[in-house]
Amino acid sequence: MSDSAGGCIQPRTAVTEAEVEALVRGICFKTGPPRRLGVEVEWLVHELREPRLPVSPERLEAAYAALRTVPLRSALTIEPGGQLELSSPPAASLMECIGTVSADLDAVRAVLRRDGLRLVGLGHDPWHTPRRFLREPRYDAMEACLDRTGPAGRAMMCTSASVQVSLDAGYEEPGPLGHVRRWWLAHQLGAVLVAVFANSPFAGHRPTGWRSTRQLRWAQIGAGRAGGPVLDSDPRGAWARHVLDAPVMCVRRDSGPWQVPDGLTFREWTRSHAPRPPTREDLDYHATTLFPPVRPRGHLELRMIDAQPGDDGWIVPLAVTTALFDDPEAAETAYRAVKPLAERTHGMPAPHNPLWRDAARDGLSDPELREVAVACFAAALRALPRLGATTDIVDAVEAYADRYVARGRCPADDLLDELLAEPRTTALGTSSSNAPGTHPDDTHPHGKDTPS
């Protein structure tokens, strides 16, 4: 979720509505041969021996100060709740990306271990309530803005973690690797990735009724902030309109709290020039405050995958996603496999449509999602050797397919099984009094029984 942004910049020349649309169109899709990829891995940071105990801000600050002295190739950032994120540099191959991030994670874990801390791969913290670690104007404004839609924003900021895969936008021309096809595929396959890698069924020690509580929280934030645009044949135009019509999170200031307007879209800001005229820097910043499941930043950033269990669990979603997008044969297979799923969206943008809701709630217990996932994993396994993946990587993907996909399961099901097997005291610290069930507000992304 992290988006680096500096402090307030002195206002420069105001941008017009037409200039904003032209700028967004020009920078959102940088087309060409798919050659580079990257990954961002977010982690919860917990006590090494007793993860249910909260880590004090002082201990986190000391650990992160030590980490800042460690030479890493990946960018190290800290999330608002103290989660840790490593963002790889652009890599020329899957194995280069895996090698870089694996080495950096080894170094990070060694430092944290000395401080009695560890990285935990869960999409949503099962024990702790949201608690801000970073106190900065950006996050103060973000919290104030997101609080208007309920508590989901604070959960997203402070208790969630993900694996985010970045891929080139693709060719300008049509075809399996064309940018229009890849944009469409990302939004349909994205629901399958939610279901396959769902790993967050708990909040507050209790089951929420959703395999991916993290995806539920994103949906609850609302379509303006965390939704995507309507899909059509012109991704550039659709995204430009979405950016213009999205609400402004904040108006930055050189000193004092940043202003948090209520309901002001960027389009309206360019027309009203109030509270001050928007600049190119404001536009760039505004784009970082939008959190759709697929975000075009010149490349495509796929943001829907829960953090995964185990030290190397992040490698499987990275490998599978890369194979299904960057290998032409696998991309065509994935396109044909997910095409029938589009009917379940009812033409509504992700993630606020029935397909994405079902993926987050049901995982691969949904028969159609399971069938598509089986086909996609088979295609990925055939493609990975062509992309230079080593036997270890192929074996890891195959093991995941056998353990989860073929059985209609996801990592969240393992956590739920723990609860049922040991109701009195599980690894998640759930007592017998917290029997499986749902919170009243967790039955639907909007607290309702039907899509809205």
Question: In this predicted structure, what is the pLDDT of residue 420?
Answer: 80
What's at 410, amino acid-wise? C
CA distances from 316 to 98, 321, 418 (A): 10, 8, 23
Question: In this predicted structure, what is the pLDDT of residue 11?
Answer: 47
Mean pLDDT score of the chain: 92
What's at 254, amino acid-wise? D
The predicted-structure confidence for 122-148, as pLDDT tens digits, reads as follows 999 999 999 999 999 999 999 999 999
Question: In this predicted structure, what is the pLDDT of residue 328?
Answer: 97
Question: In this predicted structure, what is the pLDDT of residue 18?
Answer: 98
The predicted-structure confidence for 293-304, as pLDDT tens digits, reads as follows 999 999 999 999
The token duo for 424 is 């009195």
The token duo for 392 is 């270890």
pTM above 0.75, yes or no: yes
Lowest-pLDDT choice from 59-68, 240-249, 350-359, 424-433: 424-433
Residue 10 reports pLDDT greater than 60: no
Q: Is 76 left (phi over 0), alpha (psi -120 to 50) or beta?
A: beta
- Mean pLDDT, range 394-399, rounded to an integer: 98
How many C-beta atoms lie closer than 10 Å to residue 36's C-beta?
Answer: 18
The predicted-structure confidence for 18-38, as pLDDT tens digits, reads as follows 999 999 999 999 999 999 999
The rounded percent of the chain whose pLDDT value lies above 70 is 90
Of residues 145 and 434, more confidence is placed in 145
How many C-beta atoms lie closer than 10 Å to residue 3's C-beta?
Answer: 14
Q: What are the two backbone dihedrals, phi and then psi, of residue 195, each rounded to the nearest 5 degrees?
A: -70, -45
- Angle CA(175)–CA(181)–CA(184) in degrees, nearest 5? 170
How far is the C-alpha of 228 from the C-alpha of 286, rounded, in Å? 15
- Mean pLDDT, range 187-204, rounded to an integer: 98
DSSP 308: -
Q: Is 384 left (phi over 0), alpha (psi -120 to 50) or beta?
A: alpha
For 76, the 3-state DSSP assignment is: strand
- Mean pLDDT, range 360-366, rounded to an integer: 98
CA distances from 446 to 124, 211, 220 (A): 18, 17, 6
Q: Is 175 left (phi over 0), alpha (psi -120 to 50) or beta?
A: left
Model confidence at 422, pLDDT cuts 50, 70, 90, reads low
Give residue for tokens 């993290």. 214
Give 423: exposed, middle or buried? Use CB within 10 Å, 0-12, 13-18, 19+.
Answer: middle
- Mean pLDDT, range 403-414, rounded to an integer: 98
Residue 219 reports pLDDT greater than 50: yes
Lowest-pLDDT choice from 155-159, 255-259, 324-328: 255-259
How far is the C-alpha of 19 from the C-alpha of 284, rounded, in Å? 13
- Mean pLDDT, range 69-85, rounded to an integer: 98
How far is the C-alpha of 419 from the C-alpha of 412, rounded, in Å? 11
